Structure 1
């Protein structure tokens, strides 16, 4: 890396520095390689460390870099696709669902979810915690909320191990009328951050889904994806696809 003069640039210094760093990542660094420390980088580019941090944070948000605990800042690998849903109008857990169930409890849903489901503010609903892992890396964590009214035939004698499968089986007996999704940028809650191996407050993509049956919302889910390594694409089928970085790959691009 050579020293670059940024004083005459009209755009913010950190933004121009970001483009300079991208060129360096493409030409001088391999995927997974650790970058020099901030002091050395700031000296090479003739910028303040605060400016450098802004540029590095932007590159991390865009998925070019990864900050790993106990390692440092490394060059991120290329991306691969992960579909949010297998197809339209399919219940969660049905067919070739890529989610893995962690557990299920009966708990009061957050107020916005209770409003979506039409349940009372203090009414407990079946809450299934699921996650997605690809090539050993956490991709997303999800909470699926199913009110008791949607699974009236559920046996009251459920063990922790049988709770989630029983809720999903009962839910699948309903005729799914349709579903919709909303995507927004958010910040990782402490619990989500732990499952995604991120720090609390890290940027995430939140996908909220509603499942309709019998003229009402029969279930709702909130899936949280790492925003620093994910992007959303929309194909001809309208299916949302999330992509994340592969564990292995070629030179950063």
Structure 2
């Protein structure tokens, strides 16, 4: 990183420093690389550490930097493209799916999900999934599947008491036997629940994007997925641009 004179800049010093640092991240650093410590950076740019912290906090908020416990401040990976209006419809777990299955349980879904499934307070299969980029979790998902959508699951030996990865994958395989009629998606800004925050290495209440997907089959809702994305690591994509997957941070 080079140095710069900030004394004569009319804009706030931390904001100008944020711009200088952002340019340096693009030209001099690789994803995952650890930045020099605050004392070295403050001395190099001739600013107070308080000014430096403001600039670093702004870049973290924008998703350019990540502060990892026990590691330090690192260059964040490119943002994940969140498909709001996908051009191709597919079941969860289909080829090309970027999610990993972590487990499965039988639970009563949240009331809003139960109503969407038309199941009220009946128990459904809840598949826990996670999406990672460069080894870092960027999203977590709960996929709710009524037993009626996967009738063949009851005939698979050994899964009755299995709440692990094998059971979750079996639910996904059985779901794909249905003919998918389409998807309906909504997205909204939310706050990370304690469980999601722990999985995403965020503080409870951190901003997240919540993507809710209804999978339609046989004239009804066959499954509902609630995907929670870190707001600092993703951007919304529409139409054909949704197929690009990972997009550069901007």
Q: Give the TM bin, normalised by the shorter chain.
A: 0.7 to 0.9
2:246 is aligned to 243
User: What's the CA shift for 1:40?
Assistant: 6.3
1:144 is aligned to 143
Distance 1:115 1:41 in 2: 55
User: What's the CA shift for 1:5?
Assistant: 2.6
3-state DSSP of counterpart to 1:184 = strand
1:182 is aligned to 186
* 8 A contact 2:38–2:52 mirrored in 1: no
Distance 1:23 1:100 in 2: 34
**Structure 2 counterparts to residues 28-67 of structure 1, below 5 A:** 29-31=28-30, 32-37=33-38, 41=42, 44=45, 46=47, 49=50, 52-67=52-67
Query: Any idea what the Cα deviations from partners look like across 1:132-183, whole Å, max 9, x if unmatched?
Result: 3344332422110012332345417623155323433332232221102223
1:132 is aligned to 131
Distance 2:235 2:245 in 1: 6
**Structure 2 counterparts to residues 100-249 of structure 1, below 5 A:** 100-120=100-120, 122-155=121-154, 158-160=160-162, 161=164, 162-236=166-240, 239=242, 241-243=244-246
Which has the larger displacement, 13-22 or 123-132? 13-22
Distance 1:189 1:93 in 2: 25
- Say if 1:76 and 1:153 are closer, same or farther in 2 by CA, change over 3 A: closer
Q: Can you give the 5+ residue segments of structure 2 that lack an aligned partner in the other structure?
A: none
Which has the larger displacement, 153-162 or 186-195? 153-162
- Say if 1:131 and 1:26 are closer, same or farther in 2 by CA, change over 3 A: closer
* 8 A contact 1:82–1:242 mirrored in 2: yes
Query: Any idea what the Cα deviations from partners look like across 1:5-37, whole Å, max 9, x if unmatched?
Result: 37843xx6654443243245456x533132432
* 8 A contact 2:42–2:49 mirrored in 1: no
* 8 A contact 1:204–1:226 mirrored in 2: yes
RMSD: 3.6
3-state DSSP of counterpart to 2:210 = strand
* 8 A contact 1:206–1:222 mirrored in 2: yes
